[in-house]
């Protein structure tokens, strides 16, 4: 096992009766990285997060967390914190009292200064003395993150941390996770929100039916051998259309021409090298490129392609 990794899993299997939740999963998570888990409902994301938090034990395979081999006991090594299926809170207690109770249960630091610090990090200072029974989903998610931060984790494991967050809450959570990774902690999170994963994650693992169908750096999903649709807006749509049609490897997806009053734009389908060539031709021809964005993000396109049901060719 590689002691430099925060998580190293090889061939992890987990069944619940006749249901195979995880089937030979490999996972590497390095310190200072944010690693996202994505997959359809029932793909095994929550089960895998539970293994990392010591809430369940694998039936097969090898798992090492923070340099410690994990066996069949339900326990996680020191330095691991997080939640799955939402944080558990005492609804009759305030946010501050919830954190103080948790710190006391852990035998850790329950001093007000530390609690106030994590509440500030997640943007809950103004409601610190409100009872949590009145908290929204997003506020409960942020308080769960604050509880995890009390442990000063070297591995933070979160299940759908952006659930219910408004833009301000999302900004707080993204900032916290980014700072943790910058300070050397490893973060593993699941989400159905592709925009969150693309904004936060360095690495992605895509699960489908309990198996890993991709794992690696996020930018690898936009590799040069994958065609994507791009929305292209320029200063001269007719010229852009002609140049796109004449560029090898570029196909016009939307060639109906600009509608009256609409912005001058087209949709093209291309791999990265062909798209680069088209942009170079536009610039040489004096056509200004005002927007070039994927119609569907590289992560979402890869997710749809890799998790689509396979048709039986027989």
Q: Determine what percent of the chain is predicted with pLDDT higher than 90.
A: 57
pLDDT, tens digit (0-9, with 9 covering 90-100), for 143-168: 999 999 988 899 999 998 888 888 88
- Nearest C-alpha neighbor of 122 from the set 157, 168, 153: 168
Mean pLDDT of the chain: 87
Ordered structural domains, the chain, with CATH: 7-219 (3.40.50.300), 223-304 (3.30.70)
pTM: 0.80
pLDDT at 77 exceeding the cut of 50: yes
| Region for 168 from its dihedrals, namely left if φ exceeds 0, alpha if ψ lies in -120 to 50, beta otherwise | alpha
| Cα distance between residue 116 and residue 99, in whole Å | 10
pLDDT number for residue 227: 82
Task: Show the DSSP H helices in the chain as ranges.
Answer: 45-52, 95-105, 112-121, 137-150, 167-182, 194-200, 237-245, 272-284, 298-307
| Cα distance between residue 210 and residue 257, in whole Å | 45
Region of poorest pLDDT, from 29-33, 216-220, 284-288:
216-220
Got the DSSP string for 42-111? TSSHHHHHHHHTTSS--SEEEEEETTEEE-SSS---TTEEEESSS----TTSBHHHHHHHHHHHTTS---
Which tokens sit at 12? 């992890």
Can you tell me which residue has the tokens 């994301």?
45
Is 191 within 8 Å of 160 (Cβ atoms)?
Answer: yes
């Amino acid at each position: 096992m590689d002691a430099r990794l925060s998580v190293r899993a090889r061939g992890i299997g987990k069944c619940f009766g006749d249901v195979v939740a995880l089937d030979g999963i490999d996972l590497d998570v390095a310190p200072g990285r944010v690693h996202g888990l994505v997959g359809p409902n029932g793909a095994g994301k929550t089960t895998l997060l539970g293994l990392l938090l010591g809430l369940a034990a694998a039936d097969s395979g090898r798992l090492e967390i923070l340099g410690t081999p994990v066996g069949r006991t339900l326990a996680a090594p020191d330095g691991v914190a997080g939640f799955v299926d939402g944080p558990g809170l005492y609804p009759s207690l305030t946010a501050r009292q919830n954190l103080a109770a948790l710190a006391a249960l852990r035998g850790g630091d329950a001093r007000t200064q530390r609690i106030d610090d994590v509440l500030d990090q997640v943007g809950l200072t103004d409601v610190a003395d409100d009872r949590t029974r009145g908290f929204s989903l997003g506020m409960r998610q942020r308080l769960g993150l604050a509880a995890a931060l009390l442990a000063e984790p070297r591995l933070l494991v979160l299940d759908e941390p952006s659930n219910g967050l408004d833009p301000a809450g999302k900004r707080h959570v993204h900032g916290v996770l980014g700072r943790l990774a910058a300070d050397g902690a490893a973060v593993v999170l699941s989400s159905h929100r592709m925009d969150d994963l693309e904004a936060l994650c360095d690495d992605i693992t895509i699960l489908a039916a309990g198996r890993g169908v991709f794992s690696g750096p996020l930018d690898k999903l936009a590799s040069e051998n994958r065609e994507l649709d791009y929305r292209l807006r320029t200063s001269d749509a007719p010229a852009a259309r002609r140049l796109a049609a004449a560029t090898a490897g570029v196909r016009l997806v939307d060639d109906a021409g600009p509608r009256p009053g609409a912005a001058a734009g087209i949709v093209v389908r291309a791999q990265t090298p062909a798209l680069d060539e088209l942009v170079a031709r536009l610039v040489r021809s004096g056509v200004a490129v005002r927007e070039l964005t994927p119609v569907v993000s590289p992560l979402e396109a890869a997710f749809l392609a890799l998790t689509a049901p396979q048709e039986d060719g027989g």
